[in-house]
Amino acid sequence: MSEELKFAIELAKEAGEILMNGFDRVRVEKTKADKRDILTNMDLEAEKIIIEKIKQKYPSHQIDGEEYGRIKGDSDYLWILDALCGTKYYAKGIKLFNVSIALWKGDEPIIGVIYLLTIGDLYWAEKDKGAFCNNKRIRVSDIDNLKEAIIYLDMASSDKLRVEEHKLFSKRLELISKHAYRFRALGLGGFACCFIAQGGYEAYFDLSGKEEVLDVAAGIVIAKEAGATITGLDGKFHGQNVSHLIITNGKIHNEFLKLLNSK
């Protein structure tokens, strides 16, 4: 395990502890894109501690966080954070949320740590070293056809799509509901990536096309190292541009791509 991975795991645990102790004092600081898109004091607290520790240990590295934005540096290395992924649940006292920490080198994902702290599961992966859940190696599922596949859908900003965008959204949603076994939508992209890595779902798709890299930066590493194939709608990987991202167990990737691109 590299020093950076060990460090990322420590950070995730530390942020997790802050969040677990914060239920009683969580408050909404402001709304973002809309009334339901909230930022709480706990998002800020958890992210701040992570940023400070990274700056201390890797002063030249860049950092991209959900709340404090981009912190530039001289290095190609970029830490991508979502210290509290699942704020809407958290703010209601619902224990579905995670800490997500990734290290990328430019457009190449290197390290991913996702801590589903409320259920006690720590997922992590490192380039070319495999993916793990609580130190146990995990692998994508063997399901090789869409008819048996469970598809996870992300739908960031789906209420803000333009007419043409919503037409495509609806068309693809209908195709998926017709040709796959089931679709799922938790509002937790990080969970979905982990579940694909563990064989519980077969695919992730950013249905609205508005996904930001913060939500999947760590999940991409974990899914990939568990055997997933990751591309855009054109079948190519586009690094930090994750609009319409597709992650599958590999075995259904071509069939799913074809479905999504069908006229």
- Residue number, 90 or 237, with CB nearest to a copy of itself: 90
Where in 77-96 is the site for a copy of itself (CB under 8 A)?
Answer: 88-89, 92-96
Task: Give DSSP secondary structure letters for 140-156.
Answer: -----SGGG-EEEEE-T
Give all strands (DSSP E) within 106-168, no chain letters.
108-116, 121-126, 131-133, 136-138, 150-154
Where in 201-260 is the site for a copy of itself (CB under 8 A)?
Answer: none
- Residue number, 124 or 237, with CB nearest to a copy of itself: 124
Residue 25 sits in the site that holds a copy of itself (CB under 8 A): no
Residue 162 sits in the site that holds a copy of itself (CB under 8 A): no
Q: Rounded to the nearest whole angstrom, what is the least distance from the CB of residue 52 to a copy of itself in the complex?
A: 29
Identify the residue among 13, 48, 127, 184 touching a copy of itself (CB under 8 A): 184
Beta bridge partners of 200: none
CA distances from 207 to 23, 50, 233 (A): 31, 30, 11
Q: What's at 66, amino acid-wise?
A: E
Sheet containing 121-126: which strands, arranged edge to edge?
69-71, 62-65, 77-85, 98-105, 108-116, 121-126, 131-133, 136-138
Residue 35 sits in the site that holds a copy of itself (CB under 8 A): yes
Residue 169 sits in the site that holds a copy of itself (CB under 8 A): yes
Residue 164 sits in the site that holds a copy of itself (CB under 8 A): no
Residue 209 CA to residue 49 CA, distance in Å, equals 31
Residue 98 sits in the site that holds a copy of itself (CB under 8 A): no
Structure tokens belonging to residue 72:
């530039």
Q: Is 150 in contact with 202 (CB distance < 8 Å)?
A: yes
- Residue number, 136 or 236, with CB nearest to a copy of itself: 136
- Residue number, 207 or 257, with CB nearest to a copy of itself: 207
Summarize as ranges the residues that interact with a copy of itself (CB under 8 A).
Answer: 34-36, 88-89, 92-96, 116, 118-121, 133, 147-148, 150, 155, 158-159, 166, 169-170, 173-174, 177-178, 180-187, 195, 198-200
